[in-house]
Homo-oligomer: A and B are copies of this chain.
Amino acid sequence: MLTIGEIQQIVLKRLEKESFISKPASLYEPIGYIMSIGGKRLRPMLVIMAAQLYGKPYESVIDAAIGVEVFHNFTLMHDDIMDQAPIRRGKPTVHQAWDINTAILSGDTMMVMAYDHLLHSRSANIVEILHTFNQTAREVCEGQQLDMDFEKRLDVSIPEYMEMIRLKTSVLMAAALKIGALYADAPKEDLDNLYCFGEKIGLAFQLKDDLLDVFGDESKFGKQTGNDIITNKKTYLLVRCLADADMNDRAELESWLHVHDRPQEKIDAVTALYRRYNIPEKTNEVIEGLYQEGVGYLELVKVDPVMKKPLYDFTEALRLRDS
């Protein structure tokens, strides 16, 4: 049985070896670029770990695992255009380093490459695998659309926010597990439980991201904190604070959303409001609850508990991460 460290190394080595370059270079170079600038590679690890639960060797799902990662990076490439983000993982985004047209078309090509990779890992369940992938891909688009729609609204409720991040972030983690298990011919009930496990830890993962952006340790987080506050990003922290604050504090918080200069002052004031309403503690509580729910689903998966160790380790690593 492979440990999470070994699985991560396998994914990284395969990504290093894989050439995403073809002709015309103007189309494929941005693909090689975005695939090389890092990331946690969580989704391909989930594919491999789910298959391993049933003794399926990583070699038979590594292509599919890479396909899921290519799809994830495609969504980042297009999201960065839509969000006008100049930087991703400390490097210029593709539409910044090249141009918008390149980022659109190279992204489109990556989506096709993702399907190609999924087909490379042979399976009798390929139709169900692709149905799962299609539904997930659509949901990820729907999540991004909701995220953009929410930018224009101040009245986003907590359930609406949770549904948005479920679609935008967590269904792909859930699908990565289900797809890995489908390649390994897992029973239907396990597929559902693995999916629910992924959905819960995916939600927790995103809330932790929201939290780290404001309260993370900059030296560990690797980027400046407070960016979400400066850009008025709808995060769990903001939505929760708008919901929990009294009328005066809510008015103050809303007024800061109209401030576009004085970034440090804005960060300090909004952070103070978050602290006043114990938003970090409340967010952590929700995160812990989600991890517990997720682990509950993992417990239901009908394989020798010993085989689940990498997934427990993975969950714990996400839970304790500070970057």
A contact residues vs B (CB 8 Å cutoff): 23-24, 26-27, 78, 81-82, 100-101, 104-105, 107-109, 111-113, 115-116, 119, 126-127, 130-131, 134, 137-138, 141-142, 144-146, 148-149
Output the nearest chain B residue to A148 by Cβ-Cβ distance. Answer: B101
Residue from the list B23, B81, B109, B145 in contact with A26, Cβ < 8 A: B145
Q: Given A26-B149, A127-B126, A131-B119, do A144 and B111 touch, yes or no (CB 8 Å)?
A: no
Let me know if B141 and A109 touch, CB within 8 A. yes
Given known pairs A104-B78, A104-B81, the reply for A134 and B148 (CB within 8 Å) is no
Tell whether A27 pairs with B105 under 8 Å between CB atoms, given A115-B115, A130-B119. no
Residue contact B141 to A116, C-beta cutoff 8 Å: no
**Is B104 within 8 A of A119, CB to CB?**
no
A119 near B127 with CB under 8 A, answer yes
Q: How far is the CB of A129 from chain B (nearest CB, A)?
A: 10
- Whether A141 contacts B23 in the complex (CB less than 8 A), given A126-B126, A127-B126, A148-B101, comes out as no
Contacts of A134 in B (CB 8 A): 112, 115-116, 119
Residues of B within 8 A of A26 (CB): 145, 148-149
A200 CB to closest chain B CB, in angstroms? 23
Q: Indicate which residue in B23, B82, B105, B126 contacts A144 across the interface (CB closer than 8 Å).
A: B105
What distance in Å separates the Cβ of A286 from its nearest Cβ neighbour in chain B? 24
Bound Cα distance from A156 to B126, whole angstroms? 42
Q: Would you give the shortest CB distance from A175 to chain B, in whole angstroms?
A: 13
**Which B residues touch A107, using CB under 8 A?**
108
B119 touching A137, Cβ below 8 Å:
no
